[in-house]
Every structure is written in C-alpha cells, then in structure tokens.
Chain A
Amino acid sequence: MNKISISLNLNGTDRTILVYPNRRVVDLLREDFKLTSVKEGCSEGECGACTVIFNGDAVTTCCMLAGQADQSTIITLEGLAKDGELDLLQQCFLDEGAVQCGYCTPGMILAAKALLLKNQSPTEAQIKLAMSGNLCRCTGYQKIHAAVKSAVVIYKDKMAQGGESID
C-alpha cells in the first residue's frame, strides 16, 4: 500500500501529511498530530468519544478513513479555546459541573459546539437530539444538558448586547 498526501485545515492551521489511506482519522489525529483530546471508547461509532467537528458537523472519527479528511476542516477540543480564553461551552461545562471522569467531555463539548454553530437558539429537544450520539457513563447527562442550555442563554444575552458571533 502506498501512502497518500492529505491536506486539511486543522484547528485553524493548514496541514499536509503522508499517511496510509486506511489509517483511521482518530489515529491520524491522536498519533500523527498528537491531538489526544480525541478519545477512543468503542471504535465502532457508538459512544461519541472520538467526535470532532468535520466541515461543520459533529462526526465520529473512529469510523472515518484518512482519505476522507483530505481538503476538510477539522476542529478538535484543542482548537476551541482562543488565546487562553475558554470557549463559552467550555466555561459552561466547568460552571455547571458537567465534567466527571472527563473521558466523554471532548466529544460532548464538540457535539454541542457543532450544534451551536448551526443553530444559535436550539430548543431543548434539538439539544438532546444533537447530543444523542455521545454517551456518558458518569454524569447522568443532566448537568451536561444544563451546561449546553446555559451556554445558549448566555450567548443570547451577549448577542442582545451586541456581542460577537458564536464562532
């Protein structure tokens, strides 16, 4: 098998890398790019621990091959905080106690972020649907949903005061 060249925008930076086409994107991110916030929990698309934002959508990278990442834009949790300042969702996860063991947290935050990028005032049902691909064994989900809801409320307030957009 020959390696192929892949170019992508990763957390705001253009990157090019030679990889085997059958390399999974989760390995590409964790091993080749050392972005270990991307977690592996089930390896078959069930748990959502390996979620990243791929061309604006939340996707599970354990089920994607490297070739699919060519010419894409990927955001991992490492790419969320800007200049040391937490993303609103990160702050809300902290404040609402939505983090326990933390293994599901990167995927949870990114699934929520992907939702808010598309829909700035989601309903409760829309939040639940958007997060339904992410499993958490610790928190019981209540606080995770509270964190996302509080981010929505804070964001609305900010916008009302003429603040910046969510991305």
Chain B
Amino acid sequence: MTKEYSVIGKSQVKVDALEKVLGTTKFAADYNLPDMLYGGVFRSTVAHATINSLKLEKAKALGGVEAVLDFHDIPGKNRFGIIIKDEPCLVDDKIRRYGDALAVVAARSPEILEAALALIEVDYNEIEPIFTFERALAADAPIIHGTTNIHQVKHLVCGDVDAAFERSDIIIENTYSTHRLSHMFIEPDAGIAYYDDEGLMTVVASTQNPHYDRNEVASLLGLPYNQVRVIQAATGGGFGGKLDISVQCHCALLTYHTRKPVKIVRSRSESTMVSSKRHPMIIKAKTGASRDGMLMALEVQMTGDTGAYASYGPAVITRAMAHCTGPYNIPNVRADATFVYTNNPMGGAFRGFGVPQVAVCHEGQMNQLARALSIDPIEIRIKNAHQIGSKLPTGQILENSVGFIETLEKARAKAEDVL
C-alpha cells in the first residue's frame, strides 16, 4: 500500500524557476547601485615569493581611481579560512600560489580599473615553488606555512591486518592517482558590497556560505557580527567551489575605505585560477581476500595535495579515511593519510569531500579481485556489501537505510536491459 503525499513522489516546479525562465532572477553581477565603483584584484604571477616592493603610487594617481589598497589598509584580521585561518585577504608575509591577491583597486569604470591594475608594479624575491607531494616532504624543501609542509596526518586501525593478510588466499596491490579538478560552476564568482540605509556593511555575493562569509568580513574589518550582513544572490552553481571566500572580503574592504558600493566580477580565468579544487590524491592499496571472494584485509596509504591553503583539507582527509573501504565489509583495516601544503592551487570542498578519490581505488581493487578469482564483478560486490548491522572500520554500526545491494541488483537488471 502506498500512501499519497501532497509533495513527496510528485513532480514539483521549483520555487524560483519562474523568474529564471523569465530572465528576471538577479545574480550577483546583475546588481548595480548608484555611485557604484568597479573593484579588481592585483595578483601575483609567481607561485612562491616574498615581496621586495609593491608600488601603488601610479595607480593611485590615475584619474577615476578611488582606492588602491594593500594589506596595510586592513583594519582587522588579515587571515581567513573555513577550518584553519591560513589565507590572507591581501598578502602580507609571502606569496604562496600563482594568483595570490596583493592589492585591490576600486575605480569609476571597468576601463579605468584595468588601466590602474596595469600601473601597479611588484618586485618579487622568488622562493623555490613546491608542486609535488615528494618535494614538499624533502628535508631541504622550503616551508610554505609555519614549521612543516605536512598539513594533516591521520591513521585508522581496525582488527589485525597483518594476521589477516597471512590468512588471505589472494592479495591485490595497486597505486591509484587522481587529479586536480575545477568545479567550473557556470557563473564566475561575483559580489557587491555597500553600506545599507542603517549603515550596515552589506555584501551580496554568489556564495554557498553566507554565514561563514559574514564572520570573515567582520573579522577582516574588525567589526562585530551584527554590523555585517551577507546576502546570497541567486548563485550560478557552486558544487563546493563557492564555500570559500572569493570576492566578499575584497569588496567589503574597498567599500569600507571608499564608503561607496563596490562590485567585483571575476573573469572566468581569474575564477578558475583562485577558486578551490578537488584534492589530487595518490592512493596505495593492498587488499587481501579468501578464495571465494570474501574481503579479509585492507591496507591503504593515501597522500593528498591541499595546495597553498587549507580550505576544507581537514574535512577531505577525514572523509577519505572514513570511506576507504567503500561500501564493503572489511574486518581488518589499516589506513594512513598525509596531506601536504604545496604552492599549487588550493584544494577544497568538491562534491564528496575525498570520497570520489577513494572510490577510484576501492572499485579498482574490486574489479581486479573479481577478475583474478573469476567471480562476477557484481557478485563479489554483493558478497561483501554493507547491510543493516554492518560495522565500519571507524566502529560505526549501520543501523538503517543501507540500499547498496538493492542498488546493485537494479544496476545489474538495467545493464542486462541495455547491453
């Protein structure tokens, strides 16, 4: 007997769809206010360096330019970051990636803005840039943040892995690597800051994270939270890539100094250059199983590149660890994960937080095991599948809603249908 619901099980028109098909929805770049200035960012063209000099005078002297600011102009804290505050709004100590923000400009037209940005001069003192995991861990490698390039290390141990490998009939060993990915949300980041009628610093932005943005803008400007308001404009896709700060702090800082509305719209290339990325990972896996295809042991070593700033790195490493067995019962597990800082683009949130990376590994292992044991690939998965009552290597018991076997059966039926 199926119950009739008014909404569940029925196709619904999205609440905001009408405006979207009419073209009246306002995305961040569609906002315009009287007296509005156009903001832009002067960015580094090297990945690792200290700054000998940053010359802003010529840009400041250009007619129509209302503000040219560097880190000295930040009234509050010059560090943000969703979990670890390690990213500057404007570089103060050193450049850690290609595209780091060095200065911001507000001008009366986009043309003047472009001309002013071209007048800024910087002299770098370059440091060896670190682009690989191996180099990041070398004893003589320059340190990107603090005292070590190791961003996080995690371990997970469950059962007796060595003994289980001894008893295994077959062992499969492989190394998998996954690459850096860009979200490519179709709307490049954009936002506008202004003081509202009550004098509240207000930022309207393309964002997935307005509450977090509010806190960062307040901390940057040294304002209490109740003096800052962040409004999410209709947002043209994010997929995790709009959880970090993009234009919010730069807009707000320019408005703070000019007292005027300031809009920043990133170009596609600027957006792609500095937004977060999916963490590239290298995963070494050793899987032990019995002759009849029952998984017995798993040993995993994973390394990940969080790039220049932490962003959601600590969450990604944790999720990758917790999901390293995939949806399979493996009684004995040993997993070690190390994430490092490099001078690459920042790794961050991206649909799945590390889980898609480890999926490449556990599914690759299952396929190889199936082939080596001449067992049907779906059969071997069903044999080892999580069900209600399964215990994960983290100790969690799955108490309800484990639809894996059902999904596999349906996928098999569908495949038989089409193939």
Contact = CB atoms under 8 A, between A and B. Distances in A.
Interface of A: 30, 35-37, 39-44, 47, 49, 76-78, 80-81, 86, 90-91, 93-95, 97, 99-106, 109, 135-138
B63 interface: no
Contacts of A44: 268
Chain B contact residues: over half helix, strand or loop, or mixed? Answer: loop
B383 interface: no
A100 B14 CA distance: 8
B113 to A, nearest CB: 14
Nearest to A136: B186
Contacts of A36: 23, 26-27, 29-30
A103 B235 CA distance: 8
A102 B22 contact: no
Contacts of B147: none
The 8 closest A-B pairs by CB, nearest first: A37-B23, A103-B236, A102-B20, A77-B23, A36-B30, A90-B21, A103-B187, A99-B17
Given A49-B186, A94-B17, A76 B23 contact: yes
Given A81-B22, A97-B14, A102 B234 contact: yes
B23 A101 contact: no
9 contacts: A36-B30, A37-B23, A47-B186, A93-B17, A99-B20, A100-B237, A102-B20, A102-B236, A137-B239
Q: Give the one of B20, B26, B187, B188 with max A CB within 10 A.
A: B20
B21 A103 contact: no
A41 to B, nearest CB: 5
B125 to A, nearest CB: 34
Nearest to B17: A99
B129 to A, nearest CB: 28
Nearest to A84: B22
A99 B21 contact: yes
B397 interface: no
A76 B24 CA distance: 12
B35 interface: no
A41 B188 contact: yes
Contacts, number: 93
Given A36-B29, A39-B236, A40-B188, 18 more contacts: A36-B27, A40-B29, A43-B267, A44-B268, A47-B186, A77-B23, A81-B22, A90-B21, A90-B22, A94-B13, A94-B17, A94-B18, A99-B20, A101-B185, A101-B236, A102-B17, A102-B19, A103-B236
A42 B184 CA distance: 10
B14 A99 contact: yes
Interface string B1-27: 000000000010110111111111111
A101 B234 contact: yes
Interface in B163-221: 183-188
A140 to B, nearest CB: 13
Contacts of B22: 37, 77-78, 81, 86, 90
Contacts of A76: 23
Nearest to A103: B236
B20 A43 contact: no
Nearest to B268: A42
A97 B14 CA distance: 7
Contacts of B26: 36
Contacts of B17: 93-94, 97, 99, 102
A2 to B, nearest CB: 16
B27 A103 contact: yes
A137 B186 contact: yes
B21 A86 contact: yes
Nearest to B14: A99
B215 to A, nearest CB: 25
Contact of B186 (A90, A91, A94, A101): A101
Contacts of B11: 97
A86 to B, nearest CB: 7
Contact of A41 (B18, B234, B268): B268
B13 A78 contact: no
Contacts of B25: 102
Nearest to B239: A137
B21 A39 contact: no
A20 to B, nearest CB: 9
A44 B17 CA distance: 27
Contacts of B186: 41, 47, 49, 101, 103-104, 135-138
Contacts of A77: 21-23
A42 B267 CA distance: 7
Contacts of A94: 13, 17-18, 21
Contacts of A90: 21-22
Nearest to A147: B21
A49 B188 CA distance: 11
A165 B268 CA distance: 39
Nearest to A102: B20
B24 A39 contact: no
A105 B187 contact: no
A134 to B, nearest CB: 10
A103 B23 CA distance: 9
B268 to A, nearest CB: 5
